[in-house]
């Protein structure tokens, strides 16, 4: 898989999605007000292992197939302790 760029600011980190992002996705995917704007294909209520399945079955293979050109990025808010 091609390397995706990492974009950093004082407040944000934008990087390729990895399985380490699962907890953040899980926090938001259990909120219907977030999910309802994504797609009518997203099941509700969201299944227990839905995020991991979505990452391993959809996002990560897509990143690998497109060699990074069709990448999905993970946005992380930096805290004062994580900012360089």
Residue 64 has pLDDT above 50, yes or no: yes
User: Which stretches of 1-84 are DSSP H helices?
Assistant: 22-29, 32-35, 50-54, 60-65
What is the percent of the chain where pLDDT is above 70? Answer: 73
Domain parsing of the chain, residue ranges: 7-77
Which pair of tokens denotes residue 3? 């390397």
Q: Give pTM, 2 decimals.
A: 0.66
pLDDT recorded at residue 19: 92
The answer to whether 10 and 80 are in contact (CB under 8 A) is: no
51 CB burial (10 A radius; 0-12, 13-18, 19+): buried
pLDDT tens digits, residue range 34-60? 777 876 767 778 788 888 888 888 888
């Amino acid at each position: 898989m091609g390397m995706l760029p990492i974009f950093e600011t004082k407040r944000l980190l934008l990087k390729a999605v990895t399985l380490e992002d699962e907890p953040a996705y899980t926090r938001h995917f259990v909120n219907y007000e977030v999910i309802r704007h994504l797609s009518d294909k997203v099941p509700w209520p969201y299944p227990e292992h839905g995020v991991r399945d979505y990452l391993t079955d959809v996002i990560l293979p897509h990143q690998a197939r497109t060699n990074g050109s069709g990448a999905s990025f993970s946005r992380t808010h930096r805290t004062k302790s994580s900012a360089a």
